[in-house]
Amino acid sequence: MLGSGVAGLSAAVRAASAEPGLRVGVLTKADLEQSATRWAQGGVAAVLGGDEDSTDLHLADTLAAGAGLCDADAVRVLVQEGPTRVNELIALGAVFDRDHEGRLLKAREGGHSMPRIVHAGGAATGAEIERALVEAVRANVSVVLEGWFALDLVVEDGRCRGVTACHSDGNRRTLRATHTLVATGGAGQVFAVTTNPTQATGDGVAMALRAGVPVADVEFMQFHPTALHHPAMPRPLLSEALRGHGALLRDAKGERFVDELQPRDVVSRAMTARMLDQDVDHLWLDATGLERFDERFPTIAASVREIGLDPSRDWLPIAPAAHYVSGGIVTDLDGASALPGLWACGEVACTGVHGANRLASNSLLEGMVFAPRVVEAILRGVDRPTPTGAMRAVHGDGGRRIERPTLPPCDGNADAVDARDRLQRAMTAGAGVLRSAESLDATMQVVENVAASCADPEVHNLATVAAALLVAAEVRQESRGAHTRTDFPDTSDDFLLRLVVQ
């Protein structure tokens, strides 16, 4: 397993307890506890027993957010298997918030037609999930390699046979495995303004692209509308749950301008347009009407109080930030990639669940649902992908293939911090919430320049993912979901398909 977020750890826990036993190892580039999962706030969307809600409604909300590009079978797997996985996590020891009678508390978030988001510690859901899974992995998995950076896939005779990796002390190794599961998370660090932690550099997608493994939907980078506007990077997130509980969005003149419960892409676009109109770099979230803010949202209260704001009195400065990449390594419904021996799950994967835009709180759920499916498929002896889920697009069903961009060879030794900064700023300016052919082209020139001038492997991964995103965003001459082209503002039926970079 590569990665120690909800996806990698869920797979490791399932594999370690499987009969007959599998020999399992977890490799991760920082400490086991470090991941985007740890930062997840709002919670997990799942229809749990006794709800008025139904899985059909959860399915319908997910399909609506995905703007025509979700794979309905993948979404059905997500919503039907999700509740069992949440209950298993509770059985493992994760403590979710409950009312006085012991019933799980449920919040409503943007794009959800019912309150169905279960959460922990107010808005510290990811930390609690990570705690429970890390504890289980430390107790049950014998090989845990921390501080090891996976560099590339080992491909021999048309099969993935493990990875090459290097340690922070300079040590390099080839780690061989019969099955390799990539669960390396997202790529928010491709942008200058992001909610993602420093590890989210798209390494898994970059490794896949170098090995010729198909990747899709990478143009759909979701921007979270309400990141705290503050020099801290990653930007502290003001969870959607605040808007679910009645917090209001206000422009520079203090006026409301959008329905706060619209999906993220709609809100981010409305905010970006208003910021351009009013020539400001942030707007406001007014949570002054929320009662018991500190008690209900202790993590958020701590971040805003740290910068001297009192949420009961002050409006909170906000701006959209890169948050979640809906695409990734194309998989079938069991998490199999197109390369035998290589599997993917969690944010790094494109299962087809999110389409053009992820519904809030469906991503922790996706990791929890698809990770055990990988293990079960391996135990059943499955060794090849089937044309199901997003993998259908690779077989020409609802997909269009586009060439993987080739980056120029590296002949420089530019400082990695500067190079990363140049790339991130160019991506935010030219390939952020609003894009055009002109801005994408200018951004590609910066990305090529960075790739040619800096040999650092993480920077190179950022450039590889950025180039794939730019090419797909250029080809997709329409606006859909999280992808908005100012020169093609309408949705077009010609693009009711997945762009597969290969």
Ligand X SMILES: Cc1cc2nc3c(=O)[nH]c(=O)nc-3n(C[C@H](O)[C@H](O)[C@H](O)COP(=O)(O)OP(=O)(O)OC[C@H]3O[C@@H](n4cnc5c(N)ncnc54)[C@H](O)[C@@H]3O)c2cc1C
Which is nearer to ligand X, 150 or 501 (by Cβ)?
150
In the complex, the smallest distance separating the C-beta of residue 140 from ligand X, rounded to whole angstroms, is 18
- Are 317 and 282 a contacting pair, CB within 8 Å? yes
- Is 392 noted as a catalytic residue in this protein? no
Pick the stretch among 21-29, 215-223, 265-273, 485-493 that binds ligand X (CB under 6 A).
21-29
Which is nearer to ligand X, 150 or 450 (by Cβ)?
150
Strands of 126-190, DSSP E: 143-146, 148-156, 159-167, 172-176, 180-182
Q: Is 439 helix (H, G, I), strand (E, B) or coil?
A: helix
Which is nearer to ligand X, 456 or 474 (by Cβ)?
456
Q: Please, is 23 exposed, middle or buried when counting C-beta atoms within 10 Å of its C-beta (0-12, 13-18, 19+)?
A: exposed
Which is nearer to ligand X, 107 or 472 (by Cβ)?
107
86 lines the binding site for ligand X (CB under 6 A): no
Instruction: Provide φ and ψ at 173, rounded to 5°.
Output: -145, 155
Query: Given candidates 4, 299, 428, 464, which one binds ligand X under the rule CB under 6 A?
Result: 4
94 lines the binding site for ligand X (CB under 6 A): no
Q: How many residues bind ligand X (CB under 6 A)?
A: 44
Taking the CB of residue 248, how many other CB atoms lie within 10 A of it? Answer: 16
Which is nearer to ligand X, 237 or 353 (by Cβ)?
237
**Which residues make beta-bridge pairs with 499?**
400
Per-residue binder mask for ligand X (CB under 6 A), 447-466, x = binder: --------------------
**Whole-number Cα distances in Å, 49 to 62, 83, 91, 187:** 20, 8, 15, 35
Pick the stretch among 4-12, 83-91, 328-336, 420-428 that binds ligand X (CB under 6 A).
4-12
Q: How many residues does the chain have?
A: 502
Pick the stretch among 30-38, 94-102, 168-176, 494-502 that binds ligand X (CB under 6 A).
30-38
In the complex, the smallest distance separating the C-beta of residue 297 from ligand X, rounded to whole angstroms, is 12
Peptide bond into 385 cis (omega under 30): no
- Per CB under 6 A, which of residues 103..142 are in contact with ligand X? 125-126
Nearest to 364 by CA among 186, 219, 200: 186
Q: Are strands 172-176 and 283-286 parallel, antiparallel or unpaired?
A: unpaired
CA–CA gap between residue 447 and residue 10 (Å, rounded):
35
42 lines the binding site for ligand X (CB under 6 A): yes
In the complex, the smallest distance separating the C-beta of residue 396 from ligand X, rounded to whole angstroms, is 28
Q: Please, is 291 exposed, middle or buried when counting C-beta atoms within 10 Å of its C-beta (0-12, 13-18, 19+)?
A: exposed
244 lines the binding site for ligand X (CB under 6 A): no
In the complex, the smallest distance separating the C-beta of residue 437 from ligand X, rounded to whole angstroms, is 30
In the complex, the smallest distance separating the C-beta of residue 271 from ligand X, rounded to whole angstroms, is 18
In the complex, the smallest distance separating the C-beta of residue 497 from ligand X, rounded to whole angstroms, is 24
Peptide bond into 225 cis (omega under 30): no
Pick the stretch among 42-50, 302-310, 446-454, 494-502 that binds ligand X (CB under 6 A).
42-50
If you write DSSP's letter for every residue of 177-198 in order, what string do you get? Answer: -SSEEE-----GGGSSSBSS-T
Nearest to 224 by CA among 252, 193, 200, 182: 193
Query: Given candidates 13, 14, 16, 29, which one binds ligand X under the rule CB under 6 A?
Result: 29
Query: Given candidates 14, 15, 24, 37, which one binds ligand X under the rule CB under 6 A?
Result: 37
CA–CA gap between residue 8 and residue 367 (Å, rounded):
8
- Are 473 and 431 a contacting pair, CB within 8 Å? yes
Q: Could you tell me the sign of the dihedral formed by the alpha carbons of 48, 104, 183, 132, in that order?
A: negative
- Are 134 and 4 a contacting pair, CB within 8 Å? yes
Which is nearer to ligand X, 161 or 485 (by Cβ)?
161
Query: Given candidates 13, 27, 137, 175, which one binds ligand X under the rule CB under 6 A?
Result: 27
Indicate which residue of 264, 392, 422, 435 is catalytic.
264
Per-residue binder mask for ligand X (CB under 6 A), 185-224, x = binder: xx--------xx--xx--x---------------------
Query: Given candidates 18, 22, 30, 407, which one binds ligand X under the rule CB under 6 A?
Result: 30
Which is nearer to ligand X, 238 or 501 (by Cβ)?
238
Q: What residue number has its CB nearest to ligand X?
A: 5
- Are 450 and 407 a contacting pair, CB within 8 Å? no
Token output for 502:
């290969």
CA–CA gap between residue 470 and residue 495 (Å, rounded):
16
Pick the stretch among 98-106, 180-188, 298-306, 491-499 that binds ligand X (CB under 6 A).
180-188
Q: Are strands 44-45 and 106-107 parallel, antiparallel or unpaired?
A: unpaired
- Per CB under 6 A, which of residues 343..372 are in contact with ligand X? 346-348, 361-364, 367
Footprint of ligand X (CB under 6 A): 2-8, 27-30, 34-37, 39-44, 125-126, 149-150, 183-186, 195-196, 199-200, 203, 237, 324, 346-348, 361-364, 367
Catalytic residues, by residue number, are 264
